[in-house]
Amino acid sequence: MARDPTTGHEFISHPADIQVAVWAPTLEALFRETALVLARLMVPGPEIALDREIEVVTEAEDVKSALFDWLTEVLFYSDSELFVLGDVDVRSVESLPGGRYRVTSTFKGEAFKKGHHVSGTEVKAITYSYMTLEREGEGGYRLEIIFDI
Amino acid sequence: MRHEFNLVKLAENIYEIPKTKKMARVEGQVKSFEMLVPARVYANEALLSKIKTDQTLDQLTNVSCLPGTQKFAIGLSDAHQGYGFPIGGVAATLEKEGVISPGGVGYDINCGVRLLRTSLNDGEVRPRIKELLNALFDNVPSGVGSSGTIGAITPKDLDDILENGVSWAIKKGYGWEEDAANCEEQGCLPGNSQKVSGKAKSRGKTQIGSLGSGNHFLEIQRVAEIYDQTTAKALGINEVGQVTAMIHTGSRGLGHQVCTDYLRTMEQAVRRYNISLPDRELAYVPGHTPEAHDYFEAMCCAANFAWNNRQMITHWVRKSFSDVYKRKAEDMDLHLIYDVCHNILKKEEHVVDGKKLMLNVHRKGATRAFPPGHEKLPKHFQPTGQPVLIPGSMGTASYLCVGQPRAMELSFGSTAHGAGRALSRQEAIRNYRGREIANQLQMRGIYIKAQSDTVIAEEAPGAYKSIDQVVQVSHDLGIVKKVVKLVPIGVTKG
């Protein structure tokens, strides 16, 4: 999947953890970009084969929590199945009645191979700390998020 | 929101922000919160000026707004910005009416430090340090996706670990009988494994006996200085040049998931109980609620997991020494001096305004430091006080101290937990080259074996506050007494 030029991210200086700003025209692209930033922090390279797919659907009480829960799944599969995320197909980030949100996605990647994959920064958790997710007019969305490492 | 804080110097190394109203932006609205107690910082001027550069004071004053908080919200000499609560802090609340907050413990539940002594001296260890580090690197997996060498454990064993603490590993042959008595709480808190989610168990099942990454390390050290001969001797440290081994790690993915799960549970409860928070990561519930009770039991399980993790690593450290020196670990006096937790919630009795009260003591990046004679200490530590381990950053000194009486008065029996970052990881990567740092350290007689050069740059000694000053503040305040200074010979990192 090619990256939209209006989608991107930059790291923000943080005293101890990793803070990143992410922008994208849609919530789906925003979620995907954030997951890929997270995955590359943990395993910077080399290129990840996409030979395993995992269906991941999460639902939560608001959009930030939906993102928090969904990104936590990346950490869950990394620890419990040594799964390295290479790409992700975010099919929808839907708004449901009562302010709830549902994320429907497919994680794509492969098993971590020692000596082949680079061991980067282990992310312990996604945090709500100073988390902002705002709509920027017609330009799309901007997120700031901190990963605890 | 950026605030100007009215920081008053009460005495040498003691600063206080008096109680006041504070404003915080919550989901786009500015709300007013009342500080129920003052916020205190224990630091010297140099450390304080570093502490002021990030959100530590803002977070600390948020903590002082939490219901049931006693005496003061405390920032220790190594404090830096965290998430919700600052790292390097203590918050004690009334057991029932006061709050319990997963954010006051942190994601790495029972992250802690363990120190082993040996009868070897640096003259015997330096020539074989590379061999020893290689053995440690192979025996104790580290880095992203690291699993322990024993592979996945059975669900029954995992439940045993979560409820019975360090005795599991010892029973399985990964330790000596006496090890448990040299852990804080004898390596076991009252956990209930049913309160730990399947997800958390799944994240932890292969990770027992692994180091993880980031600031976690395994270090071979030499005694550089002895400040108190009598106490040092009582703890088995006899001379300068004696070699020790230090382990710094926590509860791995299992603990991280327990914190994540209960942060979410409490968030829902916050809505139900109609609680207004200055920061979402401060999500809390009153201590008497079922959510608080469940979190406490799950947190105890994660703490028990961490003790087993450090115990398994201890076994592999002993084995690595044994393999390299072709001697039994017992013959090299590889005794456990002590094991401390520095991310933990404890139910403890403390005296507040002359009254004994049961409190929820949240220590996030803070180490318990009970003085000599404290009733919670086992008999063999009654005369010395509790051993306190304060690790430095990579390549710098670490300290073995003991708790002192003023800790009970000033900090709910607590002290700092490490150097605390002074530079962000990005700045560190910009300022340092991993290879150069490794070479510079090698010229000073310190070998580093790490998964990547980037982690060496991130953890460069210059990226941290001065451990010497952090410990000196606690020593000068009478919270701890310095006993031994340890400097590294070899380090392995994730």
Q: What is the DSSP string of B312-350?
A: HHHHHHHHHHHHHHTS-GGGGT--EEEEEESEEEEEEEE
Q: For A82, which of B108, B145, B452 is closest by C-beta distance?
A: B145
Residues on chain B touching A37 (C-beta within 8 angstroms): none
Work out the pLDDT band at A79, boundaries 50, 70, 90: very high
* Mean pLDDT, residues B152-168: 95
**Residue range B37-60, pLDDT digits in tens:** 999 999 999 999 999 988 999 999
H or E, element range at A37: helix A27-42
Contact B39, B469 (CB under 8 A): no
| Nearest chain B Cα distance for residue A51, angstroms | 18
pLDDT of residue A2: 53
- Is A80 close to B427, i.e. CB distance below 8 A? no
Which is more confidently placed, B146 or B342?
B342
Match 């109609």 to its residue by tokens. Answer: B274
The fraction of chain B above a pLDDT of 90, given in percent, is 77
CA nearest to B494 within chain A = A119
Q: Which of residues 82-101 of A touch B (CB under 8 A)?
A: 82, 84
What integer pLDDT is reported at residue A41 of this predicted model? 93
Q: How far is B16 from chain A (nearest CA, A)?
A: 23
What's the pLDDT at B23? 84
- The residue ranking higher by pLDDT, B423 or B259, is B259
pLDDT at A1 over 70: no
The answer to whether A14 contacts B264, with C-beta atoms less than 8 Å apart, is no
- The predicted pLDDT at position B299 comes to 98
| Mutation for testing the A interface, residue in B144, B272, B393 having most A CBs under 10 Å | B144
List, as one string, the DSSP characters of B214-244.
Answer: TT-EEEEEEEEEES-HHHHHHTT--STTEEE
- Chain A hits for B81, CB-CB cut-off 8 Å, are 14-16
Q: Which of A117-126, B253-262, B412-421 has the highest mean pLDDT?
A: B253-262
Tokens 């330790």, residue? B175
B380 is catalytic: no
Name the catalytic one among B80, B248, B315, B417. Answer: B417
- How does DSSP classify residue B3? -
Residue B430 binned pLDDT confidence (cut-offs 50, 70, 90): confident
**Contact: A124, B84; criterion CB under 8 Å:** no
> What would the mean pLDDT of B213-232 be, rounded to a whole number?
94
pLDDT at B357 (0 to 100): 98
Could you tell me the pLDDT band of residue B2, with boundaries at 50, 70 and 90?
A: low
pLDDT classification of B293: cutoffs 50, 70, 90:
very high
Record: contact B281-A15, CB cut-off 8 A: no
Q: What one-character-per-residue DSSP string does B408-425 give?
A: HHHSSSEEE-S--BSS-H
Report which secondary-structure segment, H or E, holds A50: none
Between the CA of residue B116 and those of A72, B237, B317, B339, B387, what are the distances in Å?
Answer: 35, 10, 9, 9, 12
Predicted local confidence at residue B479, as pLDDT: 98
Residues of A in contact with B456 (CB under 8 A): none
Amino acid identity of residue A117, one-letter, is H
Q: Does A43 touch chain B (CB under 8 A)?
A: yes
Distance from CA of A89 to the nearest CA of B (A): 23
pLDDT tens, residue by residue, A30-52: 999 999 999 999 999 899 999 99
CA distance B91 to chain A (A): 18
Half-sphere exposure of residue B96: CA atoms within 13 angstroms, side-chain side: 1
Q: Spell out the residues 6+ positions from residue B84 whose beta carbon is closer than 8 angstroms to its own.
A: A129, B59, B62, B101, B103, B104, B279, B280, B281, B282, B283
Nearest 5 degrees, angle CA B49-CA B55-CA B58?
Answer: 105
Question: What per-residue confidence (pLDDT) applies to B446?
Answer: 93
Separate counts of helices (H) and strands (E) for chain B: 15, 21
The rounded mean pLDDT for chain B is 94
Does A15 have pLDDT greater than 80?
no
A61–chain B Cβ distance below 8 A for any pair: yes
* CA-angle at B196, arms to B190 and B197, nearest 5°: 175
Q: Give the domain A8-148 fold.
A: Archease, Possible Chaperone; Chain: A; domain 1 (3.55.10)
Dihedral of alpha carbons A24, A25, A27, A32, sign: negative
Instruction: Give the CA-trace dihedral at B402, B405, B407, B408, to 10 degrees.
Output: 130
Interface touch A146/B202, C-beta < 8 Å: no
Beta-strand relationship, A18-24 and A8-12: antiparallel
Closest residue of chain A to B450, computed from CA coordinates: A119
Residue A138: its pLDDT value, please?
Answer: 80
User: Is the model's pLDDT at B371 over the cut of 60?
Assistant: yes
Quote the pLDDT of residue A3.
58
Residue in B388, B390, B464 with CA at minimum distance from that of residue B422 = B464
